[in-house]
Amino acid sequence: MSTLSQTAAGPVAGPASSFLSVRDLYVHFATEDGTVKAVDGLSFDLERGSTLGIVGESGSGKSVTNLAILGLHNPLNTKIQGEILLDGQELTGASERQLNRLRGKKMAMIFQDSLAALSPFYTVGRQIAEPFMKHTGASRREARARAVDMLRKVGIPQPDLRVDDYPHQFSGGMRQRAMIAMALVCDPDLVIADEPTTALDVTVQAQILDLLKDLQQETGAAIIIITHDLGVIAKTADQVMVMYAGRCVERGTVKEVMQRPQHPYSWGLLSSVPRLDSSVDTPLVPIPGAPPSLLSPPPGCPFHPRCGFTDLVAGGVCATTRPELPEGERRGSACHLTATQKEAVFIEQIHPRLR
């Protein structure tokens, strides 16, 4: 299965051995008003056993990217270009049959709203057992036993009884656990968690994130965690990718991005997070304005209308030329500011706000 389209993959920039490799991904939606460029030239890599955090505002293309990896966009109105290589297999051109065999088995997704993402009409056990039966050919009884196992693994008390419950009989946190069990029932190598804790209260949030980490250590799966919560990123991710208007504007390890962010948008994100240990009169600083329309993104740097540092760049380049991420580097940001300027602005203006 993994040799399917190895040859068609062509030359791959960056480490070709990556477990998941996304190259120049474009996802465009045809709408009545024009083409929405939801993802506009995105590249990243992910290794087995590691976790990539994707942060950004709503509409920055986080979820769209991951639905593209799973091939879940409606082909009638979506144009996907670029390469997605999962364990050497090309996914963008894969047939529905090939994708059906990969989804749930090799790659799985944990959705944000577990009440909406579980069908109200079938028992939790059946929904967990379903992909297991399909992908492993297990019998109904074996699959049910597996579902009970999975529920136990994700910490549902009395799993042999709860397996026959319907989703509405579960609490929010339990439902999220059941969702995780459903995603992991076939031991997938890639798990995409789309805001897995957004709908949960903080204590449950921490439990769910711990659970994900534990399961990752057990299976060695690669995880992509999508969130707008920087706390979640700090707790779980190894690598971070900050997305804005369908592009990656900054990437690096979690330490680098959280402690020495380089992009004005990342500064904005960090400054707008309330902190327990900051003094009460430190104001939160929101990012002014709203994310740009992806129908007609602004020329130049898509962030420049909201950026407070465009004056530092000579000749108004920000409004005319789009900054690119440094090619082939693991750490970098797409911004016209020079490295020294970024360093200086962060230390003088941003860092004090974060205390």
Partner 1 sequence: MFRFLVRRVLGAMVILLLISMITYFLFFALPSDPALLSCGKQCDPQNVALIRKNLGLNLPIWTQYWHYMVGIFAGRHMPVGDCPAPCFGYSFANQQPVWGTIADSYPTTLTLAVGGAATFLTIGVSLGLISAWRQGTVFDRIASATSLLGQSVQIYFIGPLAILLFSTKLGWLDRGHDVDWAHDAWGSVTGMILPCLVLSVIFWSNYSRQTRSLMVEQLSEDHIRAARAKGMSSRYVFLRYALRGAMATIITIFGVDLSAVLGGAIITEVTFGLHGLGLLSVQAVLRSDLPLEMAVMLIGATLIVVCNIVVDLAYAFIDPRIRLA
Query: Interface with partner 1 by CB under 8 A: which residues?
Result: 67, 70, 72, 76, 96, 100-105, 108-109, 111, 113, 116-121, 127, 130-131, 134-135, 166, 168-169, 179, 182-183
At residue 115's C-alpha, the angle toward residues 20 and 232, to 5°, is 50
Main-chain phi, psi angles of 281, to 5 degrees: -95, 10
Q: Closest approach of Cβ 91 to partner 1, in Å?
A: 14
Q: Closest approach of Cβ 120 to partner 1, in Å?
A: 6
Q: Closest approach of Cβ 228 to partner 1, in Å?
A: 18
Q: Closest approach of Cβ 147 to partner 1, in Å?
A: 13
CA dist 303 and 204 (Å) reads 34
Nearest residue to 202 (alpha-carbon basis) of 276, 120, 128, 268: 276
Q: Are 197 and 170 in contact (CB under 8 A)?
A: no
- Tokens 């791959």 belong to residue: 12
Q: Closest approach of Cβ 306 to partner 1, in Å?
A: 31
Residue 158 or 349 with smaller CB distance to partner 1:
158
Residue 115 or 319 with smaller CB distance to partner 1:
115
Cα 264 versus chain centre, distance: 21
Residue 111 or 265 with smaller CB distance to partner 1:
111
Q: Closest approach of Cβ 32 to partner 1, in Å?
A: 13
Q: Closest approach of Cβ 124 to partner 1, in Å?
A: 11
Q: Closest approach of Cβ 245 to partner 1, in Å?
A: 24
Tell how strand 78-86 and strand 20-31 pair up.
Answer: antiparallel
| 251 bridge partner residues | 241, 332
Q: Closest approach of Cβ 226 to partner 1, in Å?
A: 14
Torsion (CA) 291, 295, 298, 300 in degrees, nearest 10: 110
Residue 76 or 314 with smaller CB distance to partner 1:
76
Annotate 258-323 with DSSP letters as a single string.
HHS--SHHHHHHHHTS--TTS-TT----PPPS-PPPSSSPPSSSTTGGG-S-GGGSGGGGGGTS--
Burial of 173 (0-12, 13-18, 19+ CB in 10 A): buried
Residue 54 or 192 with smaller CB distance to partner 1:
192
Residue 110 or 335 with smaller CB distance to partner 1:
110
Residue 67 or 154 with smaller CB distance to partner 1:
67
Q: Are 8 and 90 in contact (CB under 8 A)?
A: yes
Residue 120 or 352 with smaller CB distance to partner 1:
120
Residue 101 or 213 with smaller CB distance to partner 1:
101
CA dist 182 and 202 (Å) reads 22
What is the number of residues in the chain? 355
